[in-house]
A = this chain, B = another copy of it.
Amino acid sequence: MFTKNYPSQLLEEAVEQFASLPGIGRKSALRLALHILKQPVENVERFSRAFTELRRGVKYCKQCNMITDGDYCPICRDGKRDSSVICVVESIRDVLSIENTGHYNGLYHVLGGIISPIDGVGPSDLPIEQLIGRVKEGVVGEIILALSTSMEGETTSFYLYKKLSGLNVRITAIARGVGFGDDLEYADELTLGKSIENRQLFKY
């Protein structure tokens, strides 16, 4: 009887909203909605407020397009970072992932997407002119391309390479290869091939 019709429209709506999130099915959504029911009203209000405030209040860094609460993000504002290197990534998530490694001290440029004719995303839809502008300021010595190796990612990397190659800046790309701790036998041929091709002097 209730597979689709819950005994309460309010519950129905809450389940539907939770189920609209990626990776959350209707069963999990029901569990989450019933969890909400058991929380104090203040907690639920704080919960709900967080998302509208995030969506309404969020700003993007005027220099690199990273998410921030002010005009410039903490990375661009950080005087200790190496402003001569810019790592070009597709998304905010990518910045957070690279930051978590603790192995990078330069700046970023978040494209917010990649060139994808199928999705109607062309070069002019991405902040590529903004990146060129940053390079033209003359401080930048290296651009690291850290886009995906999908067809669209490669297209975007190539487009950026063409656009930037006249600008007296070193253009590099992150290394691709067999991951740490991964068995060679399970690596795909392309990855393993790249690993051999891009071999480095053994350091110990």
Q: Interface range on chain A: under 10, 10 to 19, 20 to 34, or 35 or more? A: 35 or more
* B44 x A51 contact (CB < 8 A): yes
Q: Which of A131-171 contact B (CB under 8 A)?
A: none
A56-B41 contact given A35-B21, A99-B2, CB 8 Å threshold: yes
- In the complex, the answer to whether B67 meets A37 with C-beta atoms within 8 Å is yes
Q: Which B residues are CB-close (under 8 A) to A96?
A: 2, 6, 30
Q: Are A31 and B22 in contact (CB under 8 A)?
A: yes
- CB-contact partner of A8 in B34, B39, B47, B58, under 8 A: B58
Residues from chain B with a CB closer than 8 A to the CB of A28 are: 23
Given the known interface contacts A7-B68, A7-B75, A68-B8, the answer about A93 and B54 at a Cβ–Cβ threshold of 8 Å is: no
Q: Does A74 belong to the interface (CB within 8 Å)?
A: yes
**Copies assembled:** 2
CA–CA, A158 and B55, complex, Å: 52
CA distance A59 to B10 in the complex (A): 10
CB <8 Å contact, A51 and B36: yes
Most buried by B among A17, A48, A100, A102: A48
Using A17-B46, A67-B7, A73-B7 as known contacts, say yes or no to A2 and B100 having CB atoms under 8 A apart.
yes
Give Cα A82–Cα B21 distance, bound, in whole angstroms. 38
**Which residues from B are CB-within-8-Å of A120?**
none
Please determine whether A10 and B58 come into contact, CB atoms closer than 8 angstroms.
yes
Which single member of B50, B67, B99 contacts A1 (CB below 8 Å)?
B99
A50 to B16, CA, bound (A): 9
Please, what's the 1-or-0 string for A94-117, where 1 marks a CB less than 8 Å from any CB in chain B?
Answer: 011001101000000000000000
**Are B52 and A48 in touch, CB under 8 angstroms?**
yes
In the bound complex, residues from chain B placing their C-beta under 8 Å from that of A99 are: 1-2
